[in-house]
Amino acid sequence: MKLSQEMLRRVGDFLDAIRLNAANNFFIGIFQMRTRVATQVQIYNQIAIALGGIVALIGLVVMIAWHFHLTALVQLLPGAAPMRYNTALAFLVSGLALMMLGCKQRELAGVFSVMVAGLGLLILAQYAFTVDLGIDQLLMQDYLTNTLYPPGSSSAIAIDSNQQWFILINRPQAGRPAPNTALGFTLVGIALMFINAALRKNRPSLAGAILAVGALALSSVALLGYFSRPLAKVP
């Protein structure tokens, strides 16, 4: 009887040790998982800050180039259309929005995201309703477009009429980004708003990801066409 009781006690101690070890492993696993998740989130935030900084810097450099008449920075390629001031502004603000997301400044990120989407929508509205809201040259007088594309001049840089999202473009308008550029920034701004709202609830944003991919695809097609198009000679 004493032997049986001793065996039962040892078996009980062994089972208690197993349970304690399992509990310890469980809590250690949870801690390690949370540590990995926190590390991944920190890495994603750092990537967002870095990419946002690059985008914002591009926009800021082009805006400064407009102010100081540094045409080489406004026109990436000779004979190509210059980057409009409002396009550079949208780059700057969208970069700041992405940086604020990485820094967990949700309110500022939301404000910048609305600004980007709002600017894109206003530009699209001007094309769609054939109106001038006075925003194209509000911050900077466009001194390049009419020089590169003089009205009624056939000797200017060649540009073909093209259809962009049901909008026919015969010639660039001073200070006004193209419709596909405006649509791209609209998608970016809305995507940032969705992502910002999802991060507040600590969950991923499928809508934000889809819109971001759409903006990336749109910009990639435009970029490929931009660099693959033969350059016209400036008279």
Q: Which residue has the higher pLDDT, 111 or 104?
A: 111
Which range scores top for mean pLDDT: 19-28, 29-38, 75-84?
75-84
Q: Which of 72, 177, 162 is nearest to 120 (CA)?
A: 177
Is 127 within 8 Å of 182 (Cβ atoms)? yes
Q: What is the pLDDT of residue 227?
A: 54
Q: Which of 95, 142, 89 is nearest to 119 (CA)?
A: 89
pLDDT in tens, 89-103: 999 999 999 999 989
C-alpha to C-alpha distance for 149 and 204, rounded to whole angstroms: 45
Backbone angles phi and psi of 164, in degrees to 5: -125, 105
69 CB-near residues (< 8 Å, 6+ apart): 143
- In the chain, count H helices and then E strands: 7, 2
Q: Is the pTM of this model over 0.75?
A: yes
Q: What is the pLDDT of residue 10?
A: 57
DSSP designation for 232: P
Q: Which residue has the higher pLDDT, 103 or 26?
A: 103
C-alpha to C-alpha distance for 29 and 24, rounded to whole angstroms: 8
Element containing residue 163 per DSSP (H, E): strand 162-164
Is the pLDDT at 141 greater than 90? The verdict is yes
